Chains A and B, each alone.
Chain A
Amino acid sequence: MSTMLQVTGLSHRYGTGEHAHVAVNDLTFTVETGELSCIVGPSGCGKSTLLRCISGLITPTGGEVSLHGDRVTGVPEDLAVVFQDYSRSLFPWLTVRQNVEFPLRWKKSRAERRERSEEALEWVSLPGVGGKYPWQLSGGMQQRVSIARALARRPALLLMDEPFASVDAQTRFELEDLLRSVQLQHGSTILLVTHDIDESVYLGDRVLVLSKSPARIVADLPVDLPAERHQITTRESANFVSLRAEVARLLQGGTPAEPAAGVVSEKPS
């Protein structure tokens, strides 16, 4: 496995002097190629700031981010972001297909764009809606469109900022499974930020637990669950239950309690 993303000593401070607010403090971690990593942290701990630093949307005040070995300055070419607010992230004046093709507009020919958008819409199980406008689709379908748009770009790293926080529970389960299967099929490298403990354990190959603001990494837990997950059986498995309890404890206290039986806390080789 090669390292896709390397974050070293990342800090970000908003403002200066007395009113300065440190959102992220000295974060160091890596994301391996083909891995789905989840970052879980309490609300307002600086998760979004972290993601914006990684995506190059803001320049961190300290530390450094590198994507497949290249230092990130500005938005990297082969990166895509899926935002929480799909209704604002999708362009309402473009049809679903035009939205998905948007990031390819200045890079690919018309035929190639069409081919890629059809393909990406199929990946997210939305064939045949290309001609509709986003508002004609349900919230869950809209978020799938924005996932398709990100995938159509074939990013080396896909960043997701609380992507399922604005849909209902049922849809959320569907989207989680969809993301897992897309990731397994295409070996995408995904870094997903969430405040939902269950979601982070269910989705991740690995969970990074952040502390309260300013964010720092409290634990880096490998998720020892089978690659194929199931909303009911996975969630009732002993591994899942103890792992989510451990994450919850870490989030509450900041220090790990006695290691729960059956949960491996070493890094995978």
Chain B
Amino acid sequence: MNHFLGFLRKWSLFFGAVVLWELATRLAEDPFFPPPTTILDKIAELWFSAPATRLFLTDDVYQDILPSLGRVFGGWSIAVVLGVGLGTALGRSRTGMDYVGPLFAFMRAIPPPTLIPVFLVLLSIGTSMKLTTIVFGSIWPILLNTVDGVRSVNATQRDTARSFRTPQHYWIAMVVLPAALPKIFAGLRLSLSIALILMVVSEMVGATDGIGYELIFAQQRFDFPAMWSWIVLLGVLGYGLNALLLVVERRMLSWQPSTGATTAKTTGA
């Protein structure tokens, strides 16, 4: 019962807004704003109208949604590996950040979509252009948070590990990275939403498939229910990916006395 009440409290405003939107759009009959039910019909037709042998999933799912997801995960994974790796090295170095700090501050201040024209010229339309854009935009929160996290290892922990003659790789794997993990996760969540944005934007300018491409294409042929369908999909994806990462975070940070507090702190972006 309490679960049900909690669910209601969490979602009642959302569903209320959808109902209001439905009423308003039906009254207005504006072709740019189709009612949510029309959008839902379109969603069913666009993605779930295939025969059962294909799990009801249409070609759009395989030819647009999956490639887009591949780009998000691919680009984001590269950013995670590079960001955590570089961040750990820089966080452990005493002077490393002094050298690269200003450079990083400058580069992360450049809004990532503005680099798409540059990458387009350098790498032309293709997967590498999109991956580069995603990596370049989403690496900064991971990198800088890792540096911060790695530096949060305190002097007593350092002395303790040293007094046990802890070998280097155990020191990094069992002390430095776990100590940095709460900060790293804050960076990961921020960067995942940036990766999603950059996936769409890069597909809007240079692509022949993908969610961003279909979104623009639907708009250009005045198929507004389809356009809205892709927008709804992006919302659902963003929500789902974030929820997924939260589950992983809760699992990996279950040692923290109050995981709830840290999640609240890292929300935003």
Contact = CB atoms under 8 A, between A and B. Distances in A.
Chain A contact-residue range equals 20 to 34
B35 to A, nearest CB: 50
Given A83-B156, A85-B156, A91 B163 contact: no
Interface string A69-88: 00000010101110101001
Given A93-B178, A135-B257, A81 B160 contact: yes
B54 interface: no
A88 B255 contact: no
Contacts of B178: 91, 93-94
Nearest to B175: A91
Interface in B145-169: 154, 156-157, 159-160, 162-167
12 contacts: A75-B165, A83-B156, A91-B157, A92-B255, A92-B256, A94-B178, A103-B166, A105-B170, A106-B166, A133-B255, A135-B257, A153-B164
B163 A55 contact: yes
A79 to B, nearest CB: 7
B175 A103 contact: no
Contacts, number: 54
Contact of B164 (A52, A85, A92, A102): A102
Given A81-B159, A92-B256, A102-B164, 19 more contacts: A55-B163, A75-B163, A79-B163, A80-B163, A80-B164, A83-B156, A85-B156, A88-B156, A88-B157, A91-B157, A92-B255, A93-B179, A95-B255, A103-B164, A103-B166, A105-B170, A105-B174, A106-B167, A106-B170
Contacts of A57: 159, 162-163
A255 interface: no
A105 B178 CA distance: 16
Contacts of B179: 93
B216 interface: no
Contacts of A55: 163
